[in-house]
Amino acid sequence: MDSKLREYFLKLSSEYLTAKSGGFGGNAFASFIRHDVPKEMSKLSFLDDKNYSVAASAGKGNWATVPWISILNNEVTNSTQRGYYLVYLFSEDMKRLYLSFSQGVTETSKEDMLRIKKDIRGHITMESSVKKDDNMFIGDSNKAKQYADSTAAYIEYNLDDLPSETELVQDLKMMVGYYEEYIAFKSSPLIDPLYNPDPGNEITYEKEKWLASNKELITHIHSYITAKGFFYTKEEVTNLFLSLKTKPFVILSGISGTGKTKIVQWFAESVGATEENGQFTLIPIRPDWNDGSDLLGYVDIKGDFKPGPFTTVIEKAEQNPDDPYFVLLDEMNLARVEHYFSDVLSVMESRKWENGKMVTSALLSAEMSKRDIRLPVNLYVIGTVNMDETTHPFSKKVLDRANTIEFNRVELSNLVFLEEQVEVEPKLVQDHMFRSKYLHLKDLYLGNQELVKKVTAELEDINKSLQLTNAHIGYRVRDEICFYLAYNEDSELMSFEIAFDHCILQKILPRISGSDTRVERLLEGLYRLFTIKEYIDDEESNEISIRTARYPKSTAKVVEMLRRLRDDGFTSFWIS
């Protein structure tokens, strides 16, 4: 065969201990392990770079006691610290090599590790050459023991009698097949398998839950909403879904009566989240809210904590971590959002990976509520806003942390969607369908370098115009736009241009407001960038430019804002 796995494995086994006795920094052999070995393995046709990433390590700063080469499915994990993956592990004495189905030891709890190990062994039938036991011995160090404990199945090789290249490649292809079979099992429809603690390892069912692709889920949600007699395009539903998956905080803006509240209610109900089961909660915002106590709770005169409506939902979501919970903050800008919601916004930004799980800082401390209360990952917040003289504008702090979706489209004469209404039943959907798998750009970058570079180049061009009024975006906005576009690309939902158009409209244009010539030049610069034309104040010409623009929705909003600036002497994203 053309590959050189056997040659590279033998080179590693024969030279590693000698290299390890020397310095680590700048060592050519360490570079060979990190770069040459993964590059060679990535040439195998069944490890295509769209689905798989290969990485190798000889240590960080110092030589590793156990060098390794990992094969990661990008849909499952992008780090050897969490999730499950395949990995070649060398024994500490460099006499044995293990091709292992393993898990990240850094960010996976012992409980989860044992559960997943049992899961793999119980549900994936493997050839007799693959061992499913706890007899793997890599070495005596703590790290070696951790690697062995994390392994669900493995093939053991004696490096003094290593099989042929053909057999090594066939073994790897076989293990990749088992890996993909387990991934498919975890995504299988209609069941939520929970293990019975008895030794028979039989499956029991808590309740039926519908698991599908993102595309199938969006089709279902759109059909459900349409059957309720509300007209929203599938693209609008897709955009709301992607916005929630990117960040669990979305703002719906627009004139009164366009169904902002209803789309959230029906969206939640379509996936089994209702007021009756507590998975959907509507919280009307009052104009006199000036701190977080009305929303989160307070300590009464007796010293007892009285939870607010938001905290009550948090407690329910914590008790049911596999179910999505939706909170609708109705007319959220009747009071100043920064006053009553600032704690939630700050804690939302504290999300981090810990033992393989996404966690946040404490929203309420134990001193106040008897225990630390944190934001659960299965909680999604949607706020509706009307922009008129009775409401408050948003600060950039709020806009930076949300996707702002505008609902101003009104088509009163469009009654076609009312003519054939087929009843659509809600389906129970697990939270992982909505949950973000990216927190930082590095979580996405591995395997998505081209997408990140393309998005960054586009945003740098846009930032040149935005800098005129210091409205340019920072790292948070860039990262979240990358996440949105990655989810879109993974599920093949919209073209890059349509998806990026939504991102500009929701994450960038709401930041622009003002009355001076700099704002005018800024908007004209964006018009030029989107249409490759100079702006002229001619309605017919602009209509043609909007239709042919690369980002038509954003172009139309820029034209609207320019007209408002010239008519009123002031402009903003919001219609008021």
Domain residue limits, the chain: 5-186, 211-436, 440-576
- Give the DSSP H/E element, type plus range, for residue 305: strand 305-307
Give ∠ CA 198-203-206 in degrees, rounded to 5.
110
DSSP label at residue 131: B
Q: What is the mean pLDDT of residues 249-277?
A: 89
Nearest Cα neighbor of 487 from 264, 263, 241, 188 is 241
494 pLDDT more than 50: yes
**Is the backbone of residue 190 left (phi > 0), alpha (psi -120 to 50) or beta?**
left
HEC profile for 364-397?
A: ECHHHHCCCEECCCCEEEEEEECCCCCCCCCCHH
Q: What is the mean pLDDT of residues 460-477?
A: 92
105 pLDDT more than 70: yes
- The third-level CATH classification (topology) of the domain covering 5-186 is Metal Transport, Frataxin; Chain A (3.30.920)
Q: Beta strands of 126-248 (E only): which ranges?
A: 153-158, 193-195, 203-205
Question: pLDDT confidence of 211, banded at 50, 70, 90?
Answer: low
Q: Which amino acid is at 144?
A: A
- The CA distance from 444 to 297, in Å, is 37
**pLDDT of 306:** 93
191 pLDDT more than 70: no
Task: Please compute Rg for the chain using Cα positions.
Answer: 27
Start-end of H helices in 27-85: 28-31, 37-41
**pLDDT of 270:** 94
List own/partner pairs for 191-198 with CB under 8 A and 24 or more apart. 192/322, 192/430, 195/115, 195/118, 195/119, 195/122
205 pLDDT more than 50: no
Task: Give buried/exposed letters for 198-217 (b at 16+ CB in 10 A, else e).
Answer: eeeeeeeeeeebbbbebeeb
123 pLDDT more than 70: yes
The 10s digit of each residue's pLDDT in 8-35 is 999 999 999 999 888 887 888 988 998 9
Specify whether the CB–CB gap between 314 and 295 falls below 8 A.
no
Place of tokens 């069912």: 205
**Could you give the 3-state DSSP secondary structure of residue 240?**
helix
Q: Whole-angstrom distance between the N-terminal and C-terminal Cα of the chain?
A: 69
**pLDDT of 407:** 81
Select the CATH number that applies to the domain covering 211-436 from these four: 3.40.710.10, 3.40.50.360, 3.30.9.10, 3.40.50.300.
Answer: 3.40.50.300
483 pLDDT more than 60: yes
